Amino acid sequence: EKGGYQHFMIKEIYEQPKALKETISPRVNNKNEIVLDDIKLTKEDLEKINKVVIVACGTAYHAGLVGRYAIEKFAKIPVETDVASEFRYRDPFVDDRTLFIAVSQSGETADTLAALREAKEKGARVLAVTNVVGSRISREADDVFYTWAGPEIAVASTKAYTTQLVAMYLIALDMGLKKGTITKGKYDAVLNELKTFPEKAEKLLQDKQLLQELADKQFNNQNVFYIGRGIDDHVGREGSLKLKEISYIHSEAIAAGELKHGTIALIEEGTLVVALATQDHLYDKMLSNIKEVKARGAYVVAVAKEGNTEIEKSADIAIYIPNTLDELTPVLSVIPLQILAYYIAVARGCDVDKPKNLAKSVTVE
């Protein structure tokens, strides 16, 4: 059932090209139009919406952070992203002009479901992004986007996350085109690029050796830090969650610009820092952040776009992702982080697919 893989997690990491393809292909027709069958939001509906609220837990929340970026960028609607267990208890401002997006792989997470009900009660239109047909969240939502990732067995979410990212991009692009906040040229460019992702993910998955060797050297760390700016910070959070949940190493992700406001105090000789530097407009800033942590003795693993090799002068190791549009990097940059977390957990002898204290679907609060 694991198809020759040692664990479901690594099998599912390797299923990402297929999961991406199955999530993207049925949604784009031969005229490059996005077809979202289970989403009935019309142009008129969209015109009424003045705010989007994305709510989720854990990994799905991290997809929601990228969703905020994509919707603000392409559809020019203000977006808030919140964790479900916070959202529902803060008497959030939601009304009938709010589009509420619940992101949930299982579609059964108790807090996400409760938040959805709260938003619905306040009059919001509810869209669910989920991987499970017929799940509670899908049934209670007005509109649904199914991530066709296929069943995800490992507790640590991988292919569900990358397909959730794709869902957010497709929803944002579609909204942008309908609202006229994105040009057709830009829309085509982003969509065409997205269509290359199954292939690019496949390419990325071919060289895991560097990551495996890195894991074999770095598995004994007490603390790991992930730093990045903008969407790189969102991906860093996901990388950090992956590592801590399966390897039990304490890890933390912070916005790189926040380092000197506290966290840099914890960097010492040999501390592992994973620095994401995929964004052109933030690249120089990231190089300075890398130098700051290096100066305190950190061992830096940088993730950058291929070709940006000057990063090798500051980082100890560079991991490259295939070249792509800066807006879309999370779908690719998370993959090496998943693989690194996996091999570190394996090197530590952890029960990767069933980490202690965790359940695949959290149906209690």
**Smallest distance from ligand F6R to CB 81, Å:** 14
Contact stretch for ligand F6R (CB under 6 A) within 54-62, 168-176, 276-284, 306-314: 54-62
> Does 344 sit near ligand F6R (CB under 6 A)?
no
Tell me which residue of 209, 153, 213, 156 sits closest to 344, measured CA to CA: 213
**Smallest distance from ligand F6R to CB 290, Å:** 27
Q: Crossing angle for the helix pair 159-179 and 58-75, nearest 10 degrees?
A: 20
Q: How many CB atoms lie within 10 A of CB 314?
A: 20
> Does 362 sit near ligand F6R (CB under 6 A)?
yes
**Is 360 labeled as catalytic in the residue annotation?**
yes
How far is 332 from 328, CA to CA, in rounded Å?
8
**Smallest distance from ligand F6R to CB 152, Å:** 8
Contact stretch for ligand F6R (CB under 6 A) within 25-33, 51-59, 64-72, 118-126: 51-59
| Residue closer to ligand F6R (CB basis): 81 or 104 | 104
CB 302 within 8 Å of CB 245: no
| Residue closer to ligand F6R (CB basis): 143 or 245 | 245
Tell me which residue of 138, 110, 162 sits closest to 361, measured CA to CA: 110
**Smallest distance from ligand F6R to CB 196, Å:** 26
Angle at 310 between CA 309 and CA 311, to 5 degrees: 85
Kind plus residue range of the DSSP H or E element containing 10: helix 8-14
Angle at 227 between CA 224 and CA 231, to 5 degrees: 135
| CA dist list (Å): 310 to 226, 257, 286 | 20, 21, 12
How far is 337 from 325, CA to CA, in rounded Å?
19
Of the candidates 12, 118, 174, 245, which one interacts with ligand F6R according to CB under 6 A?
245
List binders of ligand F6R among 266-325 (CB under 6 A). Answer: none
Of the candidates 52, 79, 99, 156, which one interacts with ligand F6R according to CB under 6 A?
156
**Smallest distance from ligand F6R to CB 106, Å:** 3
Contact stretch for ligand F6R (CB under 6 A) within 28-36, 53-61, 265-273, 326-334: 53-61
Residue 250: both structure tokens together: 């304490």
CB 161 within 8 Å of CB 62: yes
How far is 259 from 229, CA to CA, in rounded Å?
11
| Residue closer to ligand F6R (CB basis): 176 or 336 | 336
| Residue closer to ligand F6R (CB basis): 16 or 105 | 105
# residues near ligand F6R by CB under 6 A: 15
List binders of ligand F6R among 55-74 (CB under 6 A). Answer: 57-60
DSSP-assigned states of every residue in 156-188: S-SHHHHHHHHHHHHHHHHHHHHHT-S-HHHHH
Collapsed DSSP state (helix, strand, coil) of residue 307: coil
List binders of ligand F6R among 173-202 (CB under 6 A). Answer: none
Residue 167: both structure tokens together: 């869902």
| Residue closer to ligand F6R (CB basis): 46 or 65 | 65
List binders of ligand F6R among 75-134 (CB under 6 A). Answer: 104-106, 109, 112
**Smallest distance from ligand F6R to CB 170, Å:** 18
Of the candidates 16, 81, 85, 157, which one interacts with ligand F6R according to CB under 6 A?
157
Could you say which of 2, 285, 354, 360 is catalytic?
Answer: 360
**Smallest distance from ligand F6R to CB 269, Å:** 31
Kindly list the strands in the beta sheet with 143-146, ordered across the sheet, starting from the edge strand earlier in the chain. 79-83, 51-56, 98-104, 125-130, 143-146
Query: Closest residue to ligand F6R, Cβ-based?
Result: 58
**Smallest distance from ligand F6R to CB 346, Å:** 16
The type of residue at 250 is H
| Residue closer to ligand F6R (CB basis): 59 or 218 | 59
Catalytic residues: 360
- Residues of this chain that interact with ligand F6R (CB under 6 A) are 57-60, 104-106, 109, 112, 156-157, 241, 245, 361-362
